[in-house]
Amino acid sequence: MSTAQRLLTDDLRQRIRAYFPRYPDRRAVVLPALHAVNEQLGWVPPQAVVEIAELLGLAPAEVQDTLSFYGVFKQDAPAGQVRVWVCRSLSCAARGGEELLEYLSQKLGIRPGQTTPDGRVTLEYAECLGACDFAPAALAGNLLLKNLTKEKIDQWIESLPSREDSMRKVEHGTTVE
Ligand code: FES
């Protein structure tokens, strides 16, 4: 494969190679490699699976197995700038989690698994986030939204950077949460 056709940049390949001495074998590097690619590209397309496998000396099916196991990785399309997971497991469901997921879905105009047309938010549902004491809970990027209410959802949406602000931050080399 020529360099021009590659999806994984030299920097990204170098970042993945840096994991090699830290793990017992190349198979164990698959997960951190997938995280690195997902973080850089916003998703893990099939071409990236092939290139990760090539880099690690594994079969693409071995990389795909790990990829398919973890719901955190986007495989169908790039994720939005912020991914928000709304918990629908027992404690959260008992305290209105499903209703809040529906509310957020309507406010954003998308269904779980989809990304807003402006590319700012990807909505997901999650199984237990490990924050049952704060049910209903959601995770927006790295931000845990505790004891979620419709009012808190409204505030969170209002706090999102505009698309223009997001683009400016990306241009200046920072990521947006
Ligand atoms: S059930 Fe929702 S965080 Fe545990």
54 and 93 both lie in a single domain: no
pLDDT grade, residue 170 (50/70/90)? very low
CB 80 within 8 A of CB 93: no
The answer, yes or no, to whether any atom of ligand 1 lies below 6 A from the CB of 91, is: yes
Say yes or no: 36 and 103 in one domain: no
177 within domain boundaries? no
Residue 173: pLDDT band by 50, 70, 90 thresholds?
very low
pLDDT tens column, 58-97: 999 999 999 999 878 888 888 899 999 999 999 999 999 9
- Ligand 1 site, residue 129, Cβ cutoff 6 A: yes
| Cα 99 to middle of ligand 1, angstroms | 15
56 and 95 housed in the same domain:
no
Q: Is residue 74 a part of any domain in this protein?
A: no
Q: Establish whether residue 144 lines the binding site of ligand 1, counting it when its CB lies within 6 angstroms of any ligand atom.
A: no
Looking at the domain assignment, is residue 149 inside a domain? yes
Residue 37: give its domain's CATH number: 1.10.10.1590
Q: What is the mean pLDDT of residues 118-135?
A: 93
Residue 65 lies in a domain: yes
Per the DSSP assignment, residues forming a β-bridge with 69 are none
Residues 58 and 132 occupy one common structural domain: no
Looking at residue 106, what is its pLDDT?
97
Cα→Cα distances 78→121, 124, 154, Å: 11, 13, 25
Compute φ and ψ for 175, nearest 5 degrees. Answer: -95, 160
- In this prediction the pTM is 0.73
Q: Taking 80 as the threshold, does the pLDDT of residue 175 lie above it?
A: no
Is residue 58, in this structure, part of any structural domain at all?
yes
Among the atoms of ligand 1, which is closest to the Cα of residue 131? 3
- Same domain as 147, residue 99: yes
**113 part of a folded domain:** yes
| 32, burial (CB in 10 Å: exposed 0-12, middle 13-18, buried 19+) | middle
pLDDT at 164: 59
Distance in Å, CA 116 to ligand 1 centroid: 25
Q: Which of 76, 1, 10 lies closest to 44, judged by CA? A: 76
Task: Verify that 86 and 47 share a domain, yes or no.
Answer: no
Angstrom distance (rounded) from CA 33 to CA 27? 10
Ligand 1 mutation pick, 85, 86, 87, 147, max ligand atoms within 8 A of CB: 87
Q: For a pocket test of ligand 1, which of 86, 91, 125 has the largest count of ligand atoms closer than 8 A to its C-beta?
A: 91
For the chain, what is the domain count?
Answer: 2
164 lies in a domain? yes
**The domain containing residue 10 runs over which residues?**
3-69
Q: Is the CB of 100 under 6 A from ligand 1?
A: no
**From ligand 1's centre to the CA of 130, what distance in Å?**
6
Residue with tokens 């209002």: 158
- CA nearest neighbour of 51 among 20, 10, 22: 10
Asked, for residue 75, whether it belongs to a domain, the answer is no
Same structural domain, 48 and 106: no
Alpha helices in the chain (DSSP H): 10-17, 30-41, 46-56, 60-69, 90-94, 97-108, 150-159, 163-171
**Which one-letter DSSP state was computed for residue 115?**
B
